[in-house]
């Protein structure tokens, strides 16, 4: 399985959605780190974590855009996908190569997108 033993950070402020994502990822064999629910906590976690293979990143965290998190991930060459209720153009204009899985998303679609950024 492509996600087996991959360390995936979830950055999502909706508790139930973060828990559902965690269960889906663990069922796919991933090691889930986080979840983090704010820009500040996500930035801190990313700076402290020794290894992150990929990140699922919500665009809006408690009313704050998560672009500082995306910028840090990009700078550290950590692959990520957005999981967002925002239109694609909000994300595509700033991060043209990053996949945006629109909420509500299909879990299989999100897992496939994650597998793709890991290859």
* Tens digits of residue pLDDT in 2-34: 899 999 999 999 999 999 999 999 999 999 998
Torsion angles phi and psi, residue 82, rounded to 5:
-90, 140
| Token pair 């239109």: residue | 87
Q: Would the pLDDT of 90 be above 80?
A: no
Query: Distance between CA atoms of 38 and 22, rounded to whole angstroms?
Result: 17
Torsion angles phi and psi, residue 12, rounded to 5:
-150, 130
Per-residue pLDDT tens over the stretch 25-66: 999 999 999 899 999 999 999 999 999 999 999 999 999 999
Q: Would the pLDDT of 85 be above 90?
A: no
Domains and CATH numbers, the chain: 7-117 (3.40.50.2300)
Mean pLDDT taken over the chain: 90
Q: Which residue has the higher pLDDT, 109 or 31?
A: 31
- pLDDT on residue 3: 92
Q: Which residues contact 74 (CB under 8 A, 6 or more apart)?
A: 95
- pLDDT on residue 106: 63
**Percent helix, strand and coil across the chain, each to the nearest 5:** 40, 25, 35
For the record, the structure tokens of 89 come out as 């153009």
């Amino acid at each position: 399985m492509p996600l087996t033993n991959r360390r995936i950070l979830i950055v999502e402020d909706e508790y139930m959605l973060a828990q559902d994502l965690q269960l889906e990822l663990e069922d796919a064999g991933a090691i889930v780190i986080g979840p983090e629910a704010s820009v500040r906590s996500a930035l801190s976690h990313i700076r402290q974590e020794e290894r992150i293979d990929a990140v699922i990143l919500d665009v809006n965290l408690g009313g704050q855009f998560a672009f500082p998190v995306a910028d840090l991930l990009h700078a550290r060459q950590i692959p990520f996908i957005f999981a967002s209720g925002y239109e694609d153009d909000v994300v595509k204009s700033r991060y043209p190569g990053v996949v945006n899985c629109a909420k509500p998303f299909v879990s299989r679609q999100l897992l496939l997108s994650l597998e793709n950024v890991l290859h």
